[in-house]
Structure 1
Amino acid sequence: MMKKTIIGFTLLSALLVSGSQSVFAVESTSKGNILLTTDETATPPVEPGEEPDDGTTTGMTGSLTIDYVPNFNFVQAQGGLSGTFSDTKTKNVQVTDKRGTGSGWNLDVSITPFKDSDKVIKGATITLPGTAEKGNQVNTSEAITTQENSNIMVNSDVSTPINIAMAGKNEGMGTWLVKFQNASMDIPEGNVLGNYSSTFTWTLSSTPIE
């Protein structure tokens, strides 16, 4: 009978000790700090093509930069003087916003006439179907807006700048690519043969918060 009493007492003591240990806790606090500042070094292209055929690294420094611009080579499979001429390679223009203000930006392009000596292509239209892509997939910024069908008239004068992409408030921070797939140039009949070239001017401007 005494043996049973001792065993029961031992079990009860173990439970009491275990319970007192599980509810013991203390706490204190500490701090963590971080300073975010502007980095104005040049940003390398995320997806550079073969230079200078596919594009050009600008080497721009600052807090709002164009890092890479594309070159286009429009061709037609069967050749000819008119019709639709395409660049089937995926090209891109890269923009980086390191300002950290979320104030947005605009990217425009203008195109000079396509010339070969004193000859000029007349009545042409260039289409640049742009899509947005993050330069870094862990970028938490809101997406930019691109123009899926930017139709640019290219005649005997410099074209009016056309908007290619824009970032509104709290959009487009960090590095972004505007990708062009199957950029094309439509040329009407009536032009003469030649080896024509043009200059694309990409303009990046800041946009104030409204």
Structure 2
Amino acid sequence: MTKKTLQFVAAAAMVAGLGFGSVSTAFAATSDSASGTNTGSLHTTAKVALTAGSTSGGNNGDGGNAGDGALALVTAPSYTIDGGELGGSKALKLAGTADGNTPVQTVNPGLKTNWGVTVKSSQFATTTGTELQGAVLTLTDGAVTSPTGSTSSTAPTGEGSIELNGDGTSEKPVVTAAGNENITGDAKAVGVGTWNTNFNTASLAVPDGNTAGTYTSNLTWTLKNAPF
């Protein structure tokens, strides 16, 4: 809950004795001899206390579930790659798309912290254990948008292209928010609020020499808290 406090201060002094003495306030009056009026000013304050909001679902960047005042990785995409025919003498370059155009959605509910998301792929393999040799999965786009359409925060930085070796040895950055430890004055926060990083297109390079089958790689998307 947001609390606002408006404070108005006036000081009055009482002189000890039988009667009241002079009274002093923060009002400073000056005489305008031409118009016969007095002018002056008062100084007051307006204060507000803001707390980080609540998030739900996904990982919070510290290995636990999201909750009150925590970062959250809410959604991440799976991909369907177009099938191809092995020719025995040439490599394949197969196109793919994100299922349902699901974005990498992150939520920073108001924390002055840096964060980032990485993705790692496992070995492409069939259910019987045959491995796809030498494949490279490429995710492209990396456009970062705010689904709310209105934010005072600077957008985090999305990678334009990510190449993941199909043998499970790659872990690559997806989107990064940095610089929040230096927020002072009118500097904007980075990556605060809800952000969608869209990797809607994919491609899979498959060298010749592989055998027919349905191959799957598991993608692990990880939200990492500061430092990143």
Normalising by structure 2, we get a TM-score of: 0.65
Distance of 1:134 and 1:120 partners within structure 2: 39
- Paired residue for 2:10? none
Q: 1:194 to 1:24 in 2, by over 3 A?
A: farther
Work out whether residues 43 and 96 of structure 1, in 8 Å CA contact, stay in contact via their aligned partners in 2. Answer: no
Distance of 2:155 and 2:214 partners within structure 1: 39
SS of the counterpart of 1:70?
Answer: coil
Distance of 1:24 and 1:197 partners within structure 2: 82
RMSD (CA atoms) = 2.6
Distance of 1:91 and 1:125 partners within structure 2: 21
Shift of residue 24, structure 1, vs aligned partner: 11
Work out whether residues 55 and 72 of structure 2, in 8 Å CA contact, stay in contact via their aligned partners in 1. Answer: no
After superposing the two structures, state which structure 1 stretch, 88-97 or 169-178, moved more: 88-97
- Paired residue for 1:141? 153
Distance of 2:195 and 2:176 partners within structure 1: 11
- Paired residue for 2:71? 64
Gaps of 5+ in 2: 1-34, 59-64, 180-188
Aligned residues: 169
Shift of residue 26, structure 1, vs aligned partner: 9.4
Candidates 180, 187, 210, aligned match of 2:206: 187
Candidates 74, 78, 81, aligned match of 1:74: 81
Candidates 192, 204, 218, aligned match of 1:173: 192
- Paired residue for 2:107? 96
Distance of 1:70 and 1:61 partners within structure 2: 22
Work out whether residues 64 and 98 of structure 1, in 8 Å CA contact, stay in contact via their aligned partners in 2. Answer: yes
Candidates 125, 137, 150, aligned match of 1:115: 125
Asked if residue 85 in structure 1 is aligned to residue 99 in structure 2, the reply is no
Q: Matched residues, percent identical?
A: 24
SS of the counterpart of 1:34?
Answer: strand
Work out whether residues 60 and 67 of structure 1, in 8 Å CA contact, stay in contact via their aligned partners in 2. Answer: no
Work out whether residues 74 and 85 of structure 1, in 8 Å CA contact, stay in contact via their aligned partners in 2. Answer: yes
SS of the counterpart of 1:172?
Answer: coil
SS of the counterpart of 1:73?
Answer: strand
Distance of 1:60 and 1:74 partners within structure 2: 31
1:10-29 equivalent positions in 2, closer than 5 A:
none
Q: 1:183 to 1:25 in 2, by over 3 A?
A: farther
AA of the residue aligned to 1:69? A
Distance of 1:201 and 1:32 partners within structure 2: 46
Distance of 2:220 and 2:110 partners within structure 1: 23
Gaps of 5+ in 1: 1-19, 45-58
After superposing the two structures, state which structure 1 stretch, 79-88 or 128-137, moved more: 79-88
Deviations 1:97-142 (A, max 9, x none): 12421x2211111010111112011111111112211132111111
- Paired residue for 1:124? 135
Shift of residue 205, structure 1, vs aligned partner: 0.9
Shift of residue 160, structure 1, vs aligned partner: 2.5
After superposing the two structures, state which structure 1 stretch, 112-121 or 34-43, moved more: 34-43
Work out whether residues 157 and 176 of structure 2, in 8 Å CA contact, stay in contact via their aligned partners in 1. Answer: yes
SS of the counterpart of 1:88?
Answer: strand
Shift of residue 28, structure 1, vs aligned partner: 6.7
Work out whether residues 81 and 96 of structure 2, in 8 Å CA contact, stay in contact via their aligned partners in 1. Answer: yes
AA of the residue aligned to 1:87? G
Normalising by structure 1, we get a TM-score of: 0.70
AA of the residue aligned to 1:189? D
Distance of 1:41 and 1:146 partners within structure 2: 22
